[in-house]
Structure 1
């Protein structure tokens, strides 16, 4: 229900408190790239070591996108955060978007392939072309 400037202020406030401990990432049972995480990669160098809210939010958004369609909203990321930052809210937002676009919910059908891990020429709910 917040406007875009209000949402940015909300996340800026929380990211300024972040200590970049990556407890949220480490606690996530779905995060499988700990050995090659963008937070620690220097080739390519995606993130700087700057202690800015922008860099911290960038990591959180990339992490949330990485888990889009796979996050089961277990809440371990948020429980692990020593600063009580509501990082699960980003993942819930993306899960709602994935559900709306692809009618998919993570963790419901163990045989289902998450939509961002497969390719279809034309998605049912995304009309990019008019044939």
Structure 2
């Protein structure tokens, strides 16, 4: 229950600075992984299916990852928003912008890329399964 409240608050958090353009209240946020997978990996990944559209490398979308335990400089409950794109056929992905927001709403970091680096997708990784969901529409449960 605590995690569900944390996720709802994080996804609906208002923007606190100009660099946090990805903290939106509207959208159709879909949980990508089952709860047991989230507990094992330490983060809850949501994709805004309403944001999936042509753009970037092929398909562009918004993603929110809530940390279920502290990781590096980011405390428990930090939400990392990202604007990403994927080329499913070529197996390439890019992150165009990201921002990290603490549970308090304070911006912890972020970056927008004028020319985002294109990276090869490792389909068997956790991130690859998120991108496969965008490409195929099948949740990796």
Greater relative contact order (CA < 8 Å, ≥ 6 in sequence): 1
Structure with greater strand share of residues: 2
Give the TM-score normalised by the residue count of structure 1: 0.31
Instruction: Name which one, 1 or 2, has greater alpha-carbon Rg.
Output: 1
Structure with greater helix share of residues: 1
Give the TM-score normalised by the residue count of structure 2: 0.29
